[in-house]
Amino acid sequence: MSHTTQIRHYSRRVQQSTASPAGHLNPGRIPIDTEGQGGPEACSSNEEDRSGFRAASVASRRAACAMGCARSKKQVDDPLANGDGSGSGQPLTTREIEERVDAPPQSETVQIAGCSLRYAYVSQRGFYPDDREKANQDAYGVATHYGGDANKALFTVYDGHGKEGDLCAAFCKDTLPGVLSQELRESRTVEDGLKRAFNRTNDQLHRNRNVDDALSGTTAVALYLEGRDMWVANVGDSRAIVVQEHEGNLVARPLSSDQTPYRKDERERVKAAGARVMSMDQIEGLEPIHENWGDVDLGVELDEGGDPPRIWSPFGEYPGTAFTRSMGDVIAEELGVTADPEIIRRRIHPDDKFLVIASDGVFEFLTNQSVADMVSMYPDPLDACKKVVQESYDLWLQYEVRTDDITIICVYIEGMEAEKTGSPKAKEADLDNIALQGLRPVRKETSWHRKRQLIMSNEPVGWRKPLRLEGTKEESYTLEDHVVPKSAEERACILQAIKTNFLFEHTTDEQNKVLVDAMRKRKVKAGEWVIRQGDKGDCFFIIDKGTFEVRVNPYPGTTGVITDEKDAGQTVHVYEPTDTSKPCFGHLALMYSKPRSASVFAKTNGSLWELDRPVFQHVLLKKSRRDVAHTLRQVGVLQTLTLLQVHQLCDVLSEVVYEAGQTIITQGEVGDTFFILKEGRALVTQNGGKPGREEKRLRHMEEYSFFGERALLTREPRSANVIAETKVRCLVLSQQAFEKQLGPLSALIDKERIKREDRGGVPMLQDLQLLGEIAKDDLGQINACRLPQRSTPFTLRTMWKSDVVVEQQRTLVLKSSEMLKHIAEAPTMRLGCVAVPPLVSTYNMEASLHVLHQVSAVCTLSSLMEMKTVVPQDMVRHLTACLVLGLEALHSCDVLYRALSPELVFLDSRGYAVLMEYRMSRLGTTNAFTICGTPEYLAPEQVRHQEHSKAVDFWGLGVLIYELSYGTSPFQADSEMTIYNKISSHRAGMLEIPTSFAPAMGDFIDRLLHHDPQERLGSKADDITAIKTHQWFAGFDWGGVQAGEYYNQELQQLAHAKAQKLAGQEGELPDGGKGYSDDQSIWQRF
């Protein structure tokens, strides 16, 4: 007897479809014949309709890669997300979005195995700027009372790809349920039935003359319920998860594993069939050939994120599939791409709360747990589906100029009771094992902005892609000269516009008043450029009136600067202010000089409010301490002082006020005080040699001039008069105060002379035997090295003077040299520290600079992450202990480190973490304002331009622990604006701690990442003790680590192997490879 299954088919909304007014292929409930004929017949009945709405052909693999979503270094992301466009980045109106959505009017409920399943589904057609009418290539179906059995249900999601991906997905959606129904009756097991059904559907797709699946196909995930038993069959990278209640928390567990070349087993399988596995960036020569996608260690530092590994023929650049299993894809089948599904089976448990099936449009930027958290917030599964789709859509536009098709089915399980003792139990899948099989990484990078930039004040550094920064450079002007009169209404509009921007979140009312005062109005005419893509930005804009277009050219040419309107690219956003909303753009220009990533044109006549970076930073940054230190560095008799000594003098300066006409010093008097003119104007005069001779005017002195410095060295008569011309504020330093702080100045000068004369025992550079290369950076390279006949290991850092100059890092390099020398001489470092390698010597050669450390460094922590993907937590704890000791030692030397990130921390041959990068460090652990470091590692107070202290180092430590243990940082994003917003809005307890983290480690990270620096673990005087006694370090041998006698065995073995590899490599001394013919005197302080 034949049974009829009631199936609700939901497919894509297809443009110009005549299938139904709603645009569905198969709307409503359609009877499917359980003998297996209904599927193909249903498809055949729609072939005529389908012929009118096939997807547009793909112009090239880069335009819309024939086999899925392509991303390469040549592409660009949405500029609106990084501050040069709007915050929203929306290319579609709300109505246009709604027209792209398929969803039922309400959730539905079915009873299975004594419990209620409430389910809903939503599919949203993607947005492609160059093909706005492109069909939705996702398809989905829900079948309850499947096969005529009230205890059975089938949920499916398909994600098509290629020119006719929409047709492939629709065919499989129509065909698979009927074929599966037949196979389930004829097969011995459900697993066999699922496998046969997938392959039969694939064969029928090949034979269908109305669908060309040579270079098109679809992924498919099917969740089949039979009572309390559940099977999930999957081909490709669509995904199923179950959300379980565990110890009061809802935890996402995978029910499928993405079948992509990220998985070593899948990669090796297709390679055995003759496939080449490369990303598009490798195909185009933009990235070296490698297979380092998590399972293979080639010891090569590679870009993070970007285009995924794909499958290519050995005979040409096709087919380019980003997955290793699918339906269709005839050409890819020859290379090992198969329709054989991976199948898991498990029982539904009382702690199973939700089931989620979705296409990869959901999981491109969201983790399983993120989806689970969103779903759990909504009692109605339809609302949950809509929320996930909306969040996915927003993330796509945040990172791209387009969106993928997005489809999700949510099933809520309610009323499931525990099984009675003795109930038969099927052999279940190990969900933990599925989680370890390598789900495709959640993408955290935009399509062009591949590496996290490293921010340095004034100069870039390029271990990750350089970012030009002029973070704290101030112009010498007074704000009063820049005040622009405004009406009360204008002031209110400006304040309303800036109050929701994170850069202004913590500005005071007084600061806001000054900033509003300084904003100037700019009138523009229709067609006028406001900003040009590629230009350096130094202005922030608020739109007052008019309409403005944002345009992007993905390929701006070699200079990157767009100069002709015809090259400006496609319009990706339009700004239109209202009475209550004034859009802003150019936010990042207030932080540092970055090339604009979009052009903005005035579409109509209008007006803007502009704010310059110097004004913003002048208002927000305290400058007196920095300028005082800079002035002290210019004083001839103080040239021998270290930076720390200079900052110590800043702390003992006192302030004295003189009224106009008052004499500050008198010629002929014996003085013992040195002066810095802080505010006001003074006149220098000199008396004649004979009585009655007129007083001679020598010069005028302005702000931060200095005089009387000889009084710090000898008590001798003053040689001139200094008279206040206006009210004057002076910073004064007496000889007594100087000697109390640093000792006699003459002794310091003598000590420096002796040091210069005595360099006995230091190896000559030419005596060093260079070994393997440890790492490269923007200025040069780092090598292992040794002295012949000596066992002491060394690490040599080489910097080319020409590169230092080109990268504008001379000041930072000289500063880092002084920092290293200060640390070497610090009394607190006499016993050494395992994480702070001793400085042996610095070398100033004709074309290069060298720093020699007594340590056997073997790699960076980023290289370790490439080897381990996610570093085991016992390793992380050992590395953390090293860094805690290192920070403790540096802080005791009054050094603020500010350079914690996987690229800047090294591993030595013992498996210890060591610190050797000091370009971002400063002497003085308080009163710091400079923005520098890796963006994701900046603390909230740095992002807000507030004073910061040693607490930022412990914030960075918390971020590093998280990234080592999880593979990504907690604040990672590709839009810098998003990174800074996430950091600025972070609050204690808000951090999402992965369930894989040990509870004690999660608590340790959470306390390090406290938004209030005063409450942050490590910020208080006794907090190093609090760190060492934290429960995460219970039973830990701190003394053994400090003595260099406690090892993590796996780390030690790994590091030792690296060291042996480096020792077996030989290199030439890197001197003379790059010439330098400019002024050598500027390097004397190195």
pLDDT band at 705; cut points 50, 70, 90: confident
- Token pair listed for 366: 């969201």
| 1019 in the same domain as 998 | yes
Alpha-carbon distances, residue 317 vs 274, 292, 311, 321 (angstroms): 14, 21, 9, 11
Q: Tell me what pLDDT residue 40 has.
A: 29
Is a pLDDT exceeding 60 seen at residue 807?
yes
Percentage of the residues of the chain whose pLDDT score is greater than 70:
76
pLDDT band at 874; cut points 50, 70, 90: very high
Q: Tell me what pLDDT residue 84 has.
A: 36
| 496 in the same domain as 376 | no
| 1020 in the same domain as 953 | yes
pLDDT band at 976; cut points 50, 70, 90: confident
Q: Tell me what pLDDT residue 943 has.
A: 83
- Token pair listed for 306: 């970007």
d(Cα 912, Cα 796) in Å, to the nearest integer?
Answer: 18
Phi and psi torsions of 1063, nearest 5°? -65, -25
Is a pLDDT exceeding 50 seen at residue 680?
yes
Q: Tell me what pLDDT residue 616 has.
A: 77
What's the mean pLDDT in 686-713? Answer: 76
Q: From its phi and psi, is residue 704 left (phi > 0), alpha (psi between -120 and 50) or beta?
A: left
Q: Is 108 inside a domain boundary?
A: yes
The residue assigned the tokens 């006549």 is: 605
Which of the two residues, 966 and 449, has the higher pLDDT score?
966
Q: Is 1069 inside a domain boundary?
A: no
* Cross-strand bridge partners of residue 410: 120, 356
| 513 in the same domain as 376 | no
Q: Is 16 inside a domain boundary?
A: no
Got the DSSP string for 529-553?
EEE-TTSBP-EEEEEEES-EEEEE-
Q: Tell me what pLDDT residue 848 has.
A: 87
Among the candidates 416, 432, 467, a domain finishes at: 416
pLDDT band at 236; cut points 50, 70, 90: very high
Q: How many domains does the chain contain in total?
A: 5
Mean pLDDT lowest among 204-208, 514-518, 621-625, 898-902: 621-625
What's the mean pLDDT in 884-898? Answer: 91
Q: Count CB-CB contacts under 10 A for residue 521.
A: 13
Q: Is 41 inside a domain boundary?
A: no
| 279 in the same domain as 252 | no
Closest CA to 937 of 958, 906, 951, 922: 958
Is a pLDDT exceeding 90 seen at residue 336?
yes
The residue assigned the tokens 């680590």 is: 1041
Closest CA to 150 of 124, 114, 126, 186: 114
CATH code of residue 700: 2.60.120.10
d(Cα 827, Cα 870) in Å, to the nearest integer?
Answer: 38
| 382 in the same domain as 308 | no
Q: Tell me what pLDDT residue 656 has.
A: 83
pLDDT in tens, 4-61: 333 333 332 223 222 322 222 222 222 222 233 333 223 323 332 322 222 222 233 3
Q: Is 951 inside a domain boundary?
A: yes
d(Cα 637, Cα 621) in Å, to the nearest integer?
Answer: 29
Q: Is-contact 842 835, C-beta < 8 A?
A: no
Is a pLDDT exceeding 80 seen at residue 92?
no
pLDDT band at 665; cut points 50, 70, 90: very high
| 1043 in the same domain as 975 | yes
| 318 in the same domain as 243 | no
Q: Is 465 inside a domain boundary?
A: no
Q: Tell me what pLDDT residue 450 has.
A: 32
Per-chain mean pLDDT for the chain: 78
d(Cα 1079, Cα 770) in Å, to the nearest integer?
Answer: 28
Q: Is-contact 220 328, C-beta < 8 A?
A: no
Please give the angle made by the CA atoms of 155, 156 and 158, to the nearest 5 degrees. Answer: 165
d(Cα 52, Cα 504) in Å, to the nearest integer?
Answer: 53
In 439-468, which positions are buried (b, 16+ CB within 10 angstroms) versus exposed (e)?
A: bbbbbbbbbbbbbbbbbbbbbbbbbbebbb
Q: Kindly tell me the number of DSSP H helices and DSSP E strands found in the chain.
A: 31, 44
Mean pLDDT lowest among 24-33, 66-75, 179-188: 24-33
Residue 741 CA neighbour count, 13 Å, CB half: 19
| 635 in the same domain as 612 | no
CA 578 to chain centre: 33
Is a pLDDT exceeding 70 seen at residue 107?
yes
Q: Tell me what pLDDT residue 754 has.
A: 56
Is a pLDDT exceeding 50 seen at residue 612?
yes
Which of the two residues, 221 and 790, has the higher pLDDT score?
221
Alpha-carbon distances, residue 358 vs 108, 124, 343, 429, 1059 (angstroms): 18, 12, 17, 20, 46
Check the CA dihedral 473-474-476-481 and report its sign: positive
Among the candidates 296, 322, 348, a domain finishes at: 322
What's the mean pLDDT in 355-362? Answer: 94
Which of the two residues, 157 and 800, has the higher pLDDT score?
157
Please give the angle made by the CA atoms of 383, 443 and 332, to the nearest 5 degrees. Answer: 100
Q: Tell me what pLDDT residue 568 has.
A: 81
CATH code of residue 925: 1.10.510.10
Q: Is 56 inside a domain boundary?
A: no
Locate all alpha helices (DSSP H) within 130-279, ordered by sequence. 165-186, 190-207, 264-272
Q: Tell me what pLDDT residue 384 has.
A: 95
Is a pLDDT exceeding 60 seen at residue 449?
no
pLDDT band at 314; cut points 50, 70, 90: confident
Q: Is 406 inside a domain boundary?
A: yes
d(Cα 979, Cα 971) in Å, to the nearest integer?
Answer: 6
What's the mean pLDDT in 938-962? Answer: 88
Q: State the DSSP H helix or E strand holding residue 977, giving kind and residue range, or none if neither.
A: helix 976-985
Q: Count CB-CB contacts under 10 A for residue 754.
A: 9
CATH code of residue 402: 3.60.40.10
pLDDT band at 560; cut points 50, 70, 90: low
- Token pair listed for 758: 């005595």
Locate all alpha helices (DSSP H) within 28-131, ordered by sequence. 38-44, 47-50, 61-64, 94-99
pLDDT band at 116; cut points 50, 70, 90: very high
| Residue type present at position 876 | V
| 819 in the same domain as 933 | yes
Q: Is-contact 902 861, C-beta < 8 A?
A: yes
Q: Tell me what pLDDT residue 269 has.
A: 93
207 contacts: CB under 8 Å, gap ≥ 6: none
The residue assigned the tokens 């066999």 is: 192
Alpha-carbon distances, residue 349 vs 224, 354, 660, 951 (angstroms): 16, 11, 86, 46
Q: Is-contact 1059 856, C-beta < 8 A?
A: yes
Is a pLDDT exceeding 60 seen at residue 155?
yes
Q: At what angle do helices 735-742 and 643-652 cross, to 10 degrees?
A: 130
For the ranges 330-344, 493-507, 667-681, the maximum mean pLDDT occurs at 330-344
- Token pair listed for 260: 């992509």
| 279 in the same domain as 221 | no
Mean pLDDT lowest among 469-483, 513-527, 536-550, 790-804: 469-483
Q: Is-contact 949 1019, C-beta < 8 A?
A: yes
Phi and psi torsions of 971, nearest 5°? -115, 20
Which of the two residues, 86 and 1005, has the higher pLDDT score?
1005
Q: Tell me what pLDDT residue 218 has.
A: 96
- Domain that includes residue 185, residue range: 96-256+340-416
801 contacts: CB under 8 Å, gap ≥ 6: 847, 848, 849, 1074, 1076, 1078, 1083
Among the candidates 399, 416, 433, a domain finishes at: 416
pLDDT band at 265; cut points 50, 70, 90: confident
Q: Is-contact 392 365, C-beta < 8 A?
A: yes
For the ranges 376-385, 563-572, 939-948, 1035-1044, the maximum mean pLDDT occurs at 376-385
Q: Tell me what pLDDT residue 593 has.
A: 60
What's the mean pLDDT in 1042-1063? Answer: 88
| 825 in the same domain as 701 | no
pLDDT band at 502; cut points 50, 70, 90: low
pLDDT band at 853; cut points 50, 70, 90: very high
Mean pLDDT lowest among 682-691, 938-947, 959-968: 682-691
Q: Tell me what pLDDT residue 636 has.
A: 63
Q: Tell me what pLDDT residue 922 has.
A: 85
Q: Does the predicted TM-score (pTM) go above 0.85?
A: no
